[in-house]
Amino acid sequence: MTANEEQPIKLTPPDDSDVEQQMRRMSRRSLVKGAVGIAFVLGARHWVDTRRTRQGIPWPLRRALQVNEEIWHDFASTGHLAPTFRSTQITRARTNGDVGLSDIQDLSTWTLKVSGLDTSTGDPDTRSFTLDDIKKLPAHTIITQFKCIEGWSYIMSWRGARLVDFMEKYSPALKTDDSGNPLPPVNGVPAYPNFVSMSTPDKQYFVGLDMQSARHPQTLLCYEMNGKPLTQEHGAPLRLIIPVKYGVKNIKRIGNIHYTNQRPADYWAEQGYDWYAEL
């Protein structure tokens, strides 16, 4: 070996007792860290559970849910379209949820009651519409995926009038300034109220929609499913189809629509679910 060559390093294997001592120290450290972590989680859980509630949910969780709602609401827009499918991809429909559907609906007497309408033209604030009135509007067919908040889904063909077309034909009362004058359109969009409330004829089931979602081009006042009139269990004679939201917002058998600037009550939001329920 020459002078400029490095001498090999000789490694001395650790003594077994040293290894055991190090393992014991690491085990004690891990145990202490684990115990502290568990204590922190249990303490935080106890703190959350003992806070005052809002709508049956401790306020820290309710606030987190509200933040999540606003984030997803900002993400969604009328330009965000739900995927559409081919007719060959249609699957078997599933029925779920019968709140507000306890009575068999006599389709010959059904009417849609709409309140909060524009009165500047001399029409009353509240009007009733028949299914024929809805069918006079341009009809649209979409094949979309209906997603339940429980995790299941199916693909179905829906036909009906766009809610935005209904609102353009029968305008909601526009927002006004301090002098009571209607506000001008913003980017071509009329100054409609902030929200839309819908309920079944018996008002047992009800949903609230933000105006942006109500005006979405895929939001339909639907009267046909797979080319046939809606059945009673699927919301005959008229239901909402809004494929950018979970099924809980797709109210069956609409009987009442109300335009308002106050965020309306929502059946499942009152049970603690996300008010927007956006996909």
The three-state DSSP-derived secondary structure of the chain is CCCCCCCCCCCCCCCHHHHHHHHHHHHHHHHHHHHHHHHHHHHHHHHHHCCCEECCEEHHHHHHHHHHHHHHHHHCCCCCCCCECCHHHCCCCCCCCCCCCCCCCCCCCCCEEEECECCCCCCCCEEEECHHHHHCCCEEEEEEEEECCCCCEEEEEEEEEEHHHHHHHCCECCCECCCCCECCCECCECCCCCEEEEECCCCCCEEEEEHHHHCCCCCEEEEEECCEECCHHHCCCCEEECCCECHHHCCCCCCEEEEECCCCCCCCHHHCCCCCCEC
In a domain, 237, yes or no: yes
In a domain, 49, yes or no: no
In a domain, 245, yes or no: yes
In a domain, 278, yes or no: no
In a domain, 221, yes or no: yes
CATH value at residue 105? 3.90.420.10
The pLDDT, as a whole number, for residue 105 is: 75
In a domain, 70, yes or no: no
Print the domain residue range for 203: 83-177+189-271
The amino acid at residue 234 is H
Q: Phi and psi dihedrals of 27, rounded to 5?
A: -65, -45
In a domain, 72, yes or no: no
In a domain, 24, yes or no: no
Total of domains in the chain: 1
**How confident is the prediction along the chain (279 residues), in pLDDT tens digits per residue?**
544 555 555 556 666 666 667 666 766 666 666 666 676 656 656 665 676 655 455 555 545 555 555 555 555 555 689 999 999 999 999 989 999 998 877 888 999 999 999 999 899 999 999 999 999 999 999 999 999 999 999 999 999 999 999 999 999 999 999 999 999 999 899 999 999 999 999 999 999 999 999 999 999 999 999 999 999 999 999 999 999 999 999 999 999 999 999 999 999 999 999 999 998
